[in-house]
A and B are shown apart, each in its own frame.
Chain A
């Protein structure tokens, strides 16, 4: 006697009860439905797949381009913006700014020289110390 379990068996393993006409009819119905589904199958439009793939594949590339552009803009800004700065109008200062600038430069030179001299002094002090130690060692040896 054909029942729904037979049809479920048809669905599960593609074969009904042997000799059962209703199973055969159900299997035929399955085949017809599958055949119709295959014929009605659709393909995504090319533009949609291109969009999907472009979104995935190109995204890293575009991010690199964006990052590169941002870095280039930042570098250009660093170079260009200082040159665009308008120098302050110092005509009211009666030339004193030039004296101040010269004094600043002289102070900077002096600072450098002091640094060099202090290094030299320390060097000679160390050399003296070493020589004294060498002499004392010689005396101890004698």
Chain B
């Protein structure tokens, strides 16, 4: 079942198509939301909310666009709404390691944990706008044009944010990768 078939399925309220969507795009959306919101509990709620919106608003999806772009536009707006409602500077400025690493997967090995830890710290140091573009690029695999459209900014802005994000992450990660 490809993305267009999934989209057609959820428009017809087909539970199997929705299951396929959750399996295929759930992990990316979840990672995006956790690192975007910086709080695992908040991300859990946001994830459920995003999935609910996808299911309820499936008929609004335009077949001309990529399903993934639509999904991440919803995730981006949901995260933004939650950050605004919270209006908690700590939530937007820092990724709380305690919250994010609360549930490491059983398959996580020590090295992976170390990389993840380092990555989270470097990510936390990024300005919100740069972090957002980076996360969307990495976890959605969308093109920069699609990311710019989802975020409502010019392509050049999305590229510049990504460029700065990569340069700052390089600095943050070089110690580990050296």
Interface residues, chain A, CB within 8 Å of chain B? 4, 7-8, 11-12, 26, 29-30, 32-34, 36-45, 48-49, 51-53, 55-57, 60
Pairwise interchain contact B115-A12, C-beta atoms closer than 8 A? no
Residues of the A chain whose Cβ atoms lie less than 8 Å from the Cβ of B177: 32
Residues of the B chain whose Cβ atoms lie less than 8 Å from the Cβ of A52: 22, 26, 47-48, 51-52
Residues of the B chain whose Cβ atoms lie less than 8 Å from the Cβ of A12: 144, 159
Pairwise interchain contact A32-B159, C-beta atoms closer than 8 A? no
Pairwise interchain contact A42-B163, C-beta atoms closer than 8 A? no
Q: Does B151 contact A (CB under 8 A)?
A: no
Known: A40-B115, A42-B30, A57-B15. A32 touches B173 (CB 8 A): yes
Known: A26-B166, A33-B170. A40 touches B26 (CB 8 A): no
CB-contact partner of B166 in A30, A43, A45, A53, under 8 A: A30
Pairwise interchain contact B134-A33, C-beta atoms closer than 8 A? yes
How many residues of chain B have a CB within 8 Å of chain A?
45
Which residues in window 15-33 of B have CB below 8 A to A? 15, 18-19, 22, 26-28, 30-31
Type the 1/0 row for B153-170, where 1 means its CB is closer than 8 Å to any CB of A: 000100110110111011
Known: A33-B166, A36-B169, A36-B173. A45 touches B103 (CB 8 A): yes
The main secondary structure of chain B at its interface with chain A is: helix
The main secondary structure of chain A at its interface with chain B is: helix
> How far apart are the CA atoms of A40 and B112 in the complex, in Å?
7
> How far apart are the CA atoms of A137 and B139 in the complex, in Å?
97
Pairwise interchain contact B170-A32, C-beta atoms closer than 8 A? yes
Known: A43-B27, A43-B105, A56-B18. A33 touches B173 (CB 8 A): yes
